[in-house]
Amino acid sequence: LALGAEVVSYDRATESREKIAARLAEARGAVLVPSFDDPWVIEGQGSAGIEAAAQMAALGLGAPSRVVVPCGGGGLAAGLTLALP
Task: Please check whether residue 51 lies inside any domain of the structure.
Answer: yes
Q: Do 57 and 85 touch, CB atoms closer than 8 A?
A: no
Q: Is residue 3 part of a domain?
A: no
Q: How many domains does the chain have?
A: 1
- Per-residue pLDDT of 16-35, as tens digits, reads 999 999 999 999 999 998 88
The predicted structure's pLDDT at residue 76: 93
Is 31 within a domain?
no
Global pTM value? 0.67
Residues 55-70 have pLDDT tens digits of 999 999 988 889 999 9
Do the domain assignments include residue 32?
no
**Is residue 5 included in any domain, yes or no?**
no
